[in-house]
Amino acid sequence: MRAFTYERPVDTAAALQAIGKPGAKFLAGGTNLLDLMKVEAEVPQHLVDVSRLPLLDITEENGGLRIGAMVTNSDLAAHAAVRERYPMLSRALLNGASGQLRNQATAGGNLLQRTRCYYFYDPSMPCNKRAPGSGCSALHGFNRIHAILGASETCIAVHPSDMAVALAALDAEVEVQSATGRRRIKLTEFHRLPESTPQRDTVLENGELITAVILPAPPAGGQVYRKVRDRASYDFALVSVAALIDIDGGRIRSARIALGGVAHKPWRAAEAERQLAGATLSDDTLAAAGEAAVRGAQGRGHNDFKIQLAARTVARALADAAQQRKA
């Protein structure tokens, strides 16, 4: 690990000033950043520890919730309003990492955790995300965990957060603050596709601090988070699905579907959602939605299985959400 300096401001203004120092980076729970520093995939010169900032509250806002960026994954999953009104978010969080990690990991850090692509963590291998222009070892390498949607020839990595997938389905927003002001970014527009600049995971600008995640009022209908992984105890998603479905009798009023483990960002399946709106609820309808969700998907060899897995997981998650609604 390279040498670095460290400070721990106690208010947001001081943190925003400190991040202006050369090579500065925010540190929250440290569960991802410190691992990356050990393999020198990240080499900050200065760490600005934001864990003491007053961003620890979950409060009501316009019928929804405002979640401070420093709220831990454990506290968010266990919060009564989240469990009751946004159960898919609670499930997504509890499906992520281990108990110890969730106690340390924060909402802001979770959104900004970096890909688990093996080559990104291996400094001896070319990787355009870690070293732009060096090449992508996964493209023709072992790519079992990689993207089937929205990838480019420069990077086929997937975004690893479970929480972000549920937030995408819930139409959440991310509030960020910099020395020059504050703005809100839709979660679905916060992470970006790799295109020719895979080193950029999000639209966040240098010096911007995530201060909160904003949840709108809970949507009507049943909600489910379903995660498929190699190891049930804890592991990243091969494919995950956050599904919401609102039913009136046998007719689907509306549906929302977000997928994880398939793309460089949480992937909203807009075409499948359109197809479901107004359709009659049946196994065939849900299977067709699953197929629509992966239309245009491209396997890279080792990850070809993900296409069918994603289609089936979408159909299954929708069926579970519909069942929950009837119960």
Binding residues vs ligand FAD (CB under 6 A): 25-33, 50, 69, 73, 96-97, 101, 104-106, 108-110, 112-113, 160-163, 209-210, 234, 236
Q: Examine residue 136 and tell whether it contacts ligand SF4 (CB under 6 A).
A: yes
- The Cα–Cα gap between 207 and 78 comes to 31
Of 268, 289, 266, nearest in space to 277 by CA: 289
**Could you give the 3-state DSSP secondary structure of residue 171?**
coil
Q: Examine residue 155 and tell whether it contacts ligand SF4 (CB under 6 A).
A: yes
What are 104's two structure tokens?
């340390």
Closest separation in Å from C-beta 34 to ligand FAD: 6
Closest separation in Å from C-beta 249 to ligand FAD: 37
Specify the DSSP class assigned to residue 119: G
Question: 134 — alpha (psi -120 to 50), left (phi > 0) or beta?
Answer: alpha
What are 37's two structure tokens?
């520093």
Q: Are 101 and 182 spatial neighbours (Cβ–Cβ below 8 Å)?
A: no
Q: Examine residue 26 and tell whether it contacts ligand SF4 (CB under 6 A).
A: no
Closest separation in Å from C-beta 258 to ligand FAD: 13
**Could you give the 3-state DSSP secondary structure of residue 226?**
strand
User: Residue with CB nearest ligand FAD?
Assistant: 109
Q: Interface mask (CB under 6 A) for ligand SF4, residues 186-225, using x and -?
A: ------------x---------------------------
Residue placing its CB nearer to ligand FAD in the complex, 180 or 282: 180
What are 197's two structure tokens?
């600049």
Residue placing its CB nearer to ligand FAD in the complex, 28 or 286: 28
Q: Examine residue 127 and tell whether it contacts ligand SF4 (CB under 6 A).
A: yes
Count CA atoms within 13 Å of residue 283 on its CB side: 0
- The Cα–Cα gap between 10 and 70 comes to 12
Closest separation in Å from C-beta 129 to ligand SF4: 4
Closest separation in Å from C-beta 142 to ligand SF4: 10
Residue placing its CB nearer to ligand SF4 in the complex, 4 or 118: 118
Q: Examine residue 177 and tell whether it contacts ligand SF4 (CB under 6 A).
A: no
Candidates 120-128, 223-231, 240-248, 311-319; binding stretch for ligand SF4 (CB under 6 A): 120-128
**Could you give the 3-state DSSP secondary structure of residue 242?**
strand
Q: Are 109 and 160 spatial neighbours (Cβ–Cβ below 8 Å)?
A: no
Of 290, 285, 275, 280, nearest in space to 243 by CA: 290
Binding site for ligand SF4 (CB under 6 A): 115, 117, 119-120, 127-129, 136-138, 155-157, 198
